[in-house]
Structure 1
Amino acid sequence: MNPFELEAAVKAAADGDASAFAQLIEAERTQMLRVAGYYVRNHIDAEDAVQEAICRAFTALPTLREPKYFRTWLTRIVINTSMSLLERSRKTIPTGGAEAEYLTASHKDTDGTLDLLQAVSALPPKVRRVILLKYMHDLRLKDIAELLELPLGTVKTYQNKGLNLLRTYYREEIEERRRAVEPIAADSAAWEGKDMESELSEMLHRSRERAKTLFENQSAVASAELKPFIEDVFRHGDQVRELLFIWTKPGTEIGISVTLSPDGDLIDYSVDMELYTEQEKCLHLPPEELFAIGERFVRDHYPDAPDQFSALEIEDRGDRVFFSCSQYASGMPLPRSGFWIDLHRSGFVTAFKYFGSKPEPVMPDHILTPEELLEEVAKDLSMKLYFMRLHESVHSQGDDRLHLVYMPQPYLINRPAVPESGESKKNAQAKDDYDPCAGANEPILEVLRRNEPGVPADPETLLESLGISEAEYEVLREVDMGSERGVVYRRREAVPAAEAVDSTDPYTLYRYMQARNEETVKVRFDRDSGRISSFIDFREETGILQLDDRACLEIALNLLHTADPFVFPHLRLNLEEEEDKETEQPSRQNAGFNFSVCKDSVPGFSHHVSVSVNRTTGRINHYMSADLGMEELEKLSLVPSLPLEEAKRRLIAALEPRLIWELDYSDDRSGDGHYMLRYKLVERESGLSVRMIEAHTGQIVTDNF
């Protein structure tokens, strides 16, 4: 995904487009696992950290001010969740130095890992299947849902249930190991880390000087008086893969980022345009001069790269020009191969990314023809009604208004180009029978019987009920997010541990995020109405209560009725199956509840509500609204003008399968993935990915990028 595709996808995801967010996560998943694996040291915990990071990122994405910083922002979240998980399970032995974060886990921890299969075997059968497929076979949740013929929501429930049970299983064992390890921690750390510390220190010094030389060659940047801000090392297993260096102007986050390989080769480079003066940015060089500048930059680092890959592809992006080269196999580009470079019109390089060459995949002996694939799609396809907002930034037909749409089931994701047979074909064709409107309505009705119809609570009053008072909390920072305003609060007397460290050394990504997020509460306000649209509590608090699910649900429902009484009657609580309820462990600190929004048995797509309650304090630690205006929904006709069968016929007629190479990470322990041949389903005329069909006008809805 090049920078422009990335920015467009980030904006779309921030506006609530779940498919765009899924594409972002799919593109970044390998890097996320690599970063998480570097900290937590095993595949299960890395997946756990990444899943938690994905949830946090989905909720917090609208707070990201600059889409171009998405990758760094996402990496910070992964580091934060990884280190939080690591701290909870006590899998590192701190020595007090920065290098402590790079030490391997204690030998005692290996014994716990060997016990993992026994813990998994004790899980309920349905939960165990999902955990094994997800974490042992590295399948995506969508693939698991199709494989087991289960709704995606049920698979997510099983996943969360399994992880919570595993955490409970290990809690006592971890505490015992922590007490056993503490007396010998210092000696063990010194013995295990001696050689690693020396080697790492030398590598950091060498790479730091190399990175510094690189950015000092950029004259305008060299005069900016930048200071070291972040230094970090990323591993895959025991092998150092990348070294990150970030310099910024003191007191700001404006600066330059350089990522190197252990051998000093440039992997990633980006510079904030704010470092350049308006005079420096006012030039407007012709494309041929920009081409020459870009080629010279690439050859300075990889002399043969412009000749090794395909001819440069050029995209004119207004004040920037984007050049890319990819490796091709059988006439099709390989994702994440070659390189790209982004140049400002004035002639300076704003970003560069090098992927290099990849092992060329082998074309299968037999592949489906486009006609055969369309026959399979038509045979498997069903349509479901949803209402959703078609964002102008996401969909070519978008107008930022609510629409009634027919959503294809299964979704029109890329299909394998190789014929499938037997059980794999049956599983691949499984339908999603999940009905978001089948959730429980009785808890909502019970609250409505006890309360008079009301209006949304005043934001200040709602904040008070969430534990944020002006007397105790201060505003740490504010972020302008267009239609929303993001505010970060922190308790006035709180001094985060990371800030208490008196050090002039650069941050690691974890220490930076610790200093930035520790003991904070992040709130998003709708700019027009002032209402709270999301609430995330990063405070680590434990109380004396022992609330069960029923008590926590009551707290969650009271919040929802107070926060948005107009949407409240349309909520449906997504219930777990009875079998799952029997496996619940009250010792889990948080109880989470998810609600679908439904009207006249039609669910909202990407319009849902989630709440999480701390069992020991009774406080809400997470809330995400439906992002839905009821007045607009009331005006939308939920009776389709287009018959279902006609909608299906039009959708199939508009599809054109196109062969592509796609990266697949299943059963790939290197973290780099391997290529599979797939069909991408696009609209015949535009070549854009087809998503759905408007149920009133019959218009095909596509992505706009």
Structure 2
Amino acid sequence: MMLKDELREKARKVCAIPETYKLEIEDYAEDGTRAVFIWNHPEEMDVGIWIELDENGKLVDFTKDEINPPLNAALLHVEELKQTALQFAESHYPGAVQEFEEEFVKKSDNQLRVSYIQKELNLPLPFTGFYITITEYGEIVRFHYDGSAENVVIPQHIEAEKKVRSEFLKEVKMNLKIANLEESIYENADNRPHLVYEPKLPFYRRRVDGLLNELSEEEEETKVPVYVKIPKMEAGSIPESLTELDGSMIKIREQDLDDAIGEVYRKQEAEPVISESDPSIIGFFNKRNENTVKLKRNKETGQLLGLYSFIERRGPLMMSEEECKEIAFQFLSGIFPDAHLYFQLDQSQMESDEDRVLFCFDLIHHDIPILFGTARINIDRTTGKVTHYLGADVDPDLIISINPDPAISEETAQKFFEQVFQIEKQWSKEYKDNEESYYQLVYSPVYPNLSGELRFIKAENGEMVVGKQF
């Protein structure tokens, strides 16, 4: 096991670190299995260099955020980029290119991704090998090493693919739901909610030997919702007034989150008390979060999308659940003046202890389940303040206009599904409590005629909604 000073010097040699960058995080695992170093850009908070080493100083993970390409940098051909990437891997793990097999070489935008992986029975073993990302002018910006699989279970018997596919399809269900089709997640999406059928398979994957005892999905205990309607609240309630945001708070950071804006507030006199000498990951986040309230807002409307308070204090109150519920009603109605028309409180999901009460409000539309249509509000019993809010991922105003009657039947949707559904043999990494992980050969769903995994079938026209591949 290397000493901390030796590990730090090893990390500095992985890539050229600009002199202006500050060593922000220097974290060592208590069991000595890894060390993490992060250097940050002096002005760009989200630009930096991440390096993770194992106890012997071997590079495990490396990320370097790009800013601007070098001036007059020559663009390299794909083969040159690939060879440069493999040389980097060999410099850290001699023989790795021969030990593993090429999985893919992909060019996208101004980068090339090279992946090598271990195979067994001519099938790739996930979480093995290594991958590298290199810019088109030859700079390594991403590297990750997983190494070799040690425990691969070779099946003694393999069930016929046709038979197993039939068993998959025998009990498949088409569940009618409303889902927000986000462009960042799905192909050909429009960021609007739609009435869809969601295929529900009896099991996600199946051991190739036909046994189900280890890989069958465990049935989660589902609570039957107990709904309570929200009363119509008087207009004029400002949701922020029910939180710890007040005149003593100042905005210390703001961040563009693509589709939203993140804001961080801290009391003027409440500077972090965490020691600047603590360079650990926990210390870093404590310094950034202590005594802060973080908000997420809609970029266009300013509507509150989420809130989390890191202020720890006990107030003089001891509010009842009913009193906290009234505050939650006011808060939600302050964000959505017509909350009483489409939200209902699910009392079966309510959680409480001596310090807080958590309420879950579900969007309801003609009794059709709405994916990620729950808003969660946490009230501090001792202060009466909202300390946590996570909004629904679906715009309630867009739900009301959805026709609840599907244009295609469940049977038709199932036929569409069967036309594209196939299975194939894959290695799956499995875990058991207090035991080493192992690899099991399974049959998994695939959709060879689609660009990715089938997620939904639109109930309005039968169009298939495919998840994007990342």
What residue in structure 2 maps to residue 464 of structure 1? 241
Query: Is the contact made by 1:560 and 1:568 (CA closer than 8 Å) also made in structure 2?
Result: no
Report the TM-score, using the length of structure 2 for normalisation.
0.92
- What displacement does 1:668 show? 4.4
SS at match of 1:335: coil
Match of 1:346 among 133, 137, 151: 137
Describe the superposition over 1:496-521 as per-residue Cα deviations: whole angstroms up to 9, x where unpaired. 111xx3x5x56111111011001110
Q: Distance in 1 between matches of 2:86 and 2:419?
A: 44
Aligned to 1:386: 177
Q: Which among 288, 296, 318 is matched to residue 546 of structure 1?
A: 318
Q: Deviation of residue 608 (structure 1)?
A: 1.4
Q: Is the 8 A contact 1:230 1:245 kept in 2?
A: yes
Matched, 1:496 2:275: no
Q: Tell me, in whole angstroms, the C-alpha distance in 2 between the residues paired with 1:328 and 1:661.
A: 9
Query: How far off is 1:433 after superposition?
Result: 7.1
Contact 1:229-1:506 at 8 Å conserved across structures: no
Q: Which moved more, 1:628-637 or 1:529-538?
A: 628-637
Paired residues for 1:291-310 under 5 Å:
291-310=82-101
Partner of 2:447: 683
Distance 2:42 2:222 in 1: 55
Residue 229 (1) aligns with residue 19 (2): no
Counterpart of 1:131 in structure 2 is none
Match of 1:704 in 2: 468
Over residues 297-356 of structure 1, what are the superposed CA-to-partner deviations in whole Å (9 max), with x where a residue is unaligned?
A: 111111100111003520001200010100011111111110011101011111111111
Matched, 1:642 2:418: no
1:479 pairs with 2:255: yes
Amino acid corresponding to residue 700 of structure 1 in structure 2: M
2:459 to 691, 695, 698: 695
Give the paired residue count. 468
Q: Structure 1: how far apart are the matches of 2:428 and 2:139?
A: 32
1-structure distance, mates of 2:214, 2:358: 35
Match of 1:704, SS?
Answer: coil
| Alignment-derived partner of residue 661 in structure 1 | 427
Aligned pair in 2 of structure 1 residues 337, 507: CA closer, same or farther (>3 Å)?
A: same
Deviation at 1:263, TM superposition (A): 1.0
Of residues 501, 521, 526, the one that matches 2:298 is: 526
Q: Secondary structure at the match of 1:420?
A: coil
Contact 2:154/2:440 (8 A) holds in 1:
no
Among 609, 612, 615, the alignment partner of 2:378 is: 612
In structure 1, how many angstroms separate the alpha carbons of the residues matched to 2:103 and 2:426?
19
Distance 2:216 2:78 in 1: 50
Pairing partner for 1:261 from 42, 54, 58: 54
The aligned amino acid for 2:383 is T
With over 3 angstroms needed to count, the CA separation of the structure-2 counterparts of 1:700 and 1:682, relative to structure 1, is farther
2:168–2:202 Cα contact (<8 Å) kept: no
Distance 2:404 2:215 in 1: 33
Q: Distance in 2 between matches of 1:568 and 1:516?
A: 37
Shift of 1:564: 0.7
1:537 is aligned to 309
One-letter amino acid of the counterpart of residue 464, structure 1: S
Aligned partners of 2:218 and 2:11: how far apart in 1?
Answer: 50
**Secondary structure at 1:606 match in 2:** coil
Give the structure 2 partner of residue 211 of structure 1.
11
Looking at structure 2, the residues matched to 559 and 411 of structure 1 have their Cα atoms a distance apart, in angstroms, of 40
Contact 2:228 2:347 in 1 (8 A): no
Alignment pair present for 1:243 and 2:20:
no
Contact 1:283 1:346 in 2 (8 A): yes
Q: Give the superposition deviation at 1:528.
A: 1.8
Match of 1:45 in 2: none
- Other-structure match for 1:565: 337
Assess, with a 3 A threshold, how the Cα gap between structure 1 residues 534 and 586 changes in structure 2: closer, same or farther: closer
The offset of 1:567, in angstroms, is 3.6
CA distance in 2, matches of 1:225, 1:528: 36
Report the equivalent of 1:441.
Answer: 228
1:595-610 counterparts in 2 under 5 A? 595-610=361-376
Change (3 A) 1:585 1:558: closer
Pair 664,548 (structure 1): closer, same or farther in 2 beyond 3 Å: farther
Q: Distance in 1 between matches of 2:206 and 2:163?
A: 12
Q: Equivalent pairs: percent with the same residue?
A: 25
What secondary structure does 1:229 align onto? strand
Asked if 1:368 is matched to 2:145, the reply is no
Q: Which amino acid in the other structure matches residue 268 of structure 1?
A: D
CA deviation after TM superposition for structure 1 residue 227, in Å = 3.3
Q: Is the 8 A contact 2:153 2:441 kept in 1?
A: no
Provide Cα deviations, 1:172-194, integer angstroms capped at 9, x if missing partner.
xxxxxxxxxxxxxxxxxxxxxxx
Shift of 1:278: 4.5
> How far has the Cα of 1:649 moved from its partner?
2.6
Cα-to-partner distance string for 1:34-66 (whole Å, 9 max, x where unaligned): xxxxxxxxxxxxxxxxxxxxxxxxxxxxxxxxx
TM-score (norm 1): 0.62
- Deviation string for 1:81-123 (max 9, x for gaps)? xxxxxxxxxxxxxxxxxxxxxxxxxxxxxxxxxxxxxxxxxxx
Contact 1:409 1:432 in 2 (8 A): no
**CA–CA separation in structure 1 for the residues paired with 2:363 and 2:279:** 43
- Alignment equivalent of 1:556, drawn from 316, 323, 328: 328
| Cα distance, 1:556–1:586 mapped onto 2, change above 3 Å | same
Compared CA separation, residues 664 and 574, structure 1 to 2 (3 A) = farther
1:614 is displaced (CA, Å) by 0.9
Note the C-alpha offset of 1:600.
1.1
Amino acid at match of 1:256: I
CA, structure 1 residues 418+621, in 2 after alignment: closer, same or farther (shift >3 Å)? farther
Report what 1:272 is aligned to. Answer: 65
Alpha carbons of structure 1 residues 513 and 431: separation in structure 2 relative to 1, 3 Å? closer
Q: CA deviation at 1:701?
A: 2.1
Q: Is the 8 A contact 1:485 1:526 kept in 2?
A: yes
- Listed as ranges, the gaps of 5+ residues in structure 1 are 1-198
1:595 Cα deviation from its structure 2 partner: 1.9
- Secondary structure of the 2:14 match is helix
Q: Does the residue aligned with 1:547 lie in a helix, a strand or coil?
A: coil
1:407 is displaced (CA, Å) by 1.6
- Which has the larger strand fraction? 2
Q: Deviations over 1:679-703 (max 9, x none)?
A: 2212241262222211111122221
CA distance in 2, matches of 1:434, 1:695: 27
Structure 1, residues 464-513: CA drift from partner, whole Å, max 9, x if none? 232312x2110010011233211100111102111xx3x5x561111110
Kindly provide the amino acid, as one letter, of the partner of residue 89 in structure 2.
V
Residue from 514, 534, 548 that aligns with 2:286: 514
Instruction: Show CA shifts across 1:650-694 (max 9, x none).
Output: 213321012211222232445xx3222222212241262222211
Residue in 1 aligned with 2:204? 413
Does the 8 Å CA contact 2:153/2:440 hold for their aligned counterparts? no
RMSD of equivalent CA atoms: 2.6
Within a 5 Å distance, the mapping from 1:1-40 to structure 2 comes to: none
Letter in 1 for 2:108: R
The 3-state SS of whatever aligns with 2:323 is helix
How far 1:385 sits from its partner (Å)? 1.4
1-structure distance, mates of 2:37, 2:214: 47
2:216 and 2:63 mapped to 1: Cα distance?
44
Q: Quickly say closer, same or farther: Cα 1:434–1:414, change in 2 above 3 A.
A: farther
Matched residues in 2 for 1:572 and 1:370: separation? 45
Counterpart code for 1:291: K
Shift of 1:550: 2.5
Question: Are the counterparts in 2 of residues 485 and 524 from structure 1 also a CA contact under 8 Å?
Answer: yes
